[in-house]
A and B are shown apart, each in its own frame.
Chain A
Amino acid sequence: MKGIEVFQELAPLLADEAVVLANGFISRECFQVLDRPGNFYMIGSMGLASSIGLGVALAQPERRTLIFDGDGNVLMAMGTLAMIAACAPKNLIHIVIDNEVYESTGSQRTISNVVPLESVALSCGYRQALRVTQRDALKSAYESLCQAEGPGFLLVKVEPGFDPATGRVTHTPEEIRDRFMNSLKV
């Protein structure tokens, strides 16, 4: 499975969720598959998709918040896993697309091949943590996290393989903010 397939599988299931997307290929692939006002494309501030998503989830507890994160981002901000677990927002699902490399900077390896991030999340105190390696298991894993009490963690193991033809996010940062806030009725 390639990273973009995660969005191809899950995008049709999205409704009014707030979606926070990590920088790099994760934002670009989601933008290509399904651009929607409720997507917050984080173009800088590596490592902070998780804390931004936590802030959204805590401020709007009635709305489901999804974080699409990468293994490099999670490893950079591992302490935020602990914060999410401690705050325990029931409405938060943290999806990590794990290709074991920093692909957008030239595919240097991360260390997620030997660090099982879903076990880290579970040890921190996430209520659920699942690992998926096959595309056909993705939807059912996501739906089971939606039905369970959060915070939930979904680790999706993928192969590197970003298509360089994938466009960049064309909205300005301020447009991203305004669309996102409007979609959250702020």
Chain B
Amino acid sequence: MLSSKTFIEKLHGHGFDFFTGVPCSLLSGLISSLEESSGYLPSVREDAAVGLCAGAFMAGKQPVLLMQNSGLGYSLNAFTSLNLIYGLPVLVIMSWRGCGGNDAPEHIIMGAVNEKLLATAGMDHDVLTRDNVDALLVQAVDQIKNKKLPYTLLVKKGLFDERH
């Protein structure tokens, strides 16, 4: 397990300073810790969170967007017709419900296709683990500073502490 507090400290260390999203139980510990330590703005929909991060980025922030993979459906047009054409980066922390086909029915289809959807849209992503966190955050900063594109870290159940 990766402690939420440690991960947030690493995010701060890499300059991330704007946090928003729509919750998922897999990210509940992370969001609670952000509320306590950094400020976290609840968004009402994932596409609105994409817009919020895009505006914050252009005005000087380094944003992080937390969402469940179900939100990828809501936000795909925002990514493709905003971030990907203007070159507006954001670090997306996306929980992977339905991973391996073992979850509630509403998560099975998106869980089976979220990686393919991201790849088809040309959005780079990796699966976050306790062992690769430092390397992937370096990669995230590279994507943001140099490629100016969104970068998604997929989070499987059990990686972060949960609080619900």
**Is the Cβ of A60 less than 8 Å from the Cβ of B59?**
yes
Residue of A nearest to B55 (CB): A55
**Is the Cβ of A18 less than 8 Å from the Cβ of B59?**
yes
Q: Is A79 positioned at the interface, with any CB of B under 8 Å from its CB?
A: yes
Check A173/B58 contact, CB under 8 A, given A54-B52, A55-B51: no
Q: Is B141 positioned at the interface, with any CB of A under 8 Å from its CB?
A: no
Q: Is B99 positioned at the interface, with any CB of A under 8 Å from its CB?
A: no
**Is the Cβ of A40 less than 8 Å from the Cβ of B58?**
yes
**Is the Cβ of A45 less than 8 Å from the Cβ of B57?**
no
Query: Nearest chain B CB to A3's CB is how many angstroms away?
Result: 22
**Is the Cβ of B48 less than 8 Å from the Cβ of A51?**
yes
Interface residues of B in 44-99 (CB under 8 A from A): 44-45, 47-61, 63, 77-78, 80-82, 85-88
Residues of B within 8 A of A184 (CB): 58-60
**Is the Cβ of A48 less than 8 Å from the Cβ of B51?**
yes
**Is the Cβ of A186 less than 8 Å from the Cβ of B59?**
yes
The contact size tier of chain B is: 20 to 34
Q: Is B160 positioned at the interface, with any CB of A under 8 Å from its CB?
A: no
The contact size tier of chain A is: 35 or more
Q: Is A44 positioned at the interface, with any CB of B under 8 Å from its CB?
A: yes
Residues of B within 8 A of A185 (CB): 60
**Is the Cβ of B55 less than 8 Å from the Cβ of A45?**
no
Residues of B within 8 A of A57 (CB): 55
Residue of A nearest to B79 (CB): A45
A78 CA / B135 CA spacing, docked (Å): 39
**Is the Cβ of B57 less than 8 Å from the Cβ of A55?**
yes
Q: Is A15 positioned at the interface, with any CB of B under 8 Å from its CB?
A: no
A18 CA / B47 CA spacing, docked (Å): 21
A55 CA / B51 CA spacing, docked (Å): 7
A133 CA / B87 CA spacing, docked (Å): 38
A147 CA / B51 CA spacing, docked (Å): 27
Query: Nearest chain A CB to B78's CB is how many angstroms away?
Result: 5
Q: Is B151 positioned at the interface, with any CB of A under 8 Å from its CB?
A: no
**Is the Cβ of B55 less than 8 Å from the Cβ of A20?**
yes
Q: Which of A18, A20, A44, A184 counts the most B-chain CB atoms under 10 A from its CB?
A: A44
Partner of A181, one of B50, B58, B81: B58
Check A55/B60 contact, CB under 8 A, given A44-B85, A45-B78: no
Residues of A within 8 A of B51 (CB): 45, 47-52, 54-55, 80
Residue of B nearest to A183 (CB): B58
Q: Is B137 positioned at the interface, with any CB of A under 8 Å from its CB?
A: no
CB-CB contacts of B35-46 with A at 8 A, as 1s and 0s?
000000111110
Query: Nearest chain A CB to B67's CB is how many angstroms away?
Result: 14
**Is the Cβ of A180 less than 8 Å from the Cβ of B58?**
yes
**Is the Cβ of B52 less than 8 Å from the Cβ of A52?**
yes
Seen from chain A, the residues whose Cβ lies within 8 Å of a Cβ on chain B are: 18, 20, 40, 42-45, 47-60, 77, 79-80, 82-83, 86-87, 173-174, 176-177, 180-181, 184-186
Across chains A and B, which 7 residue pairs bring their CB atoms closest together, nearest first? A55-B55, A44-B81, A51-B51, A59-B59, A48-B51, A79-B44, A55-B56
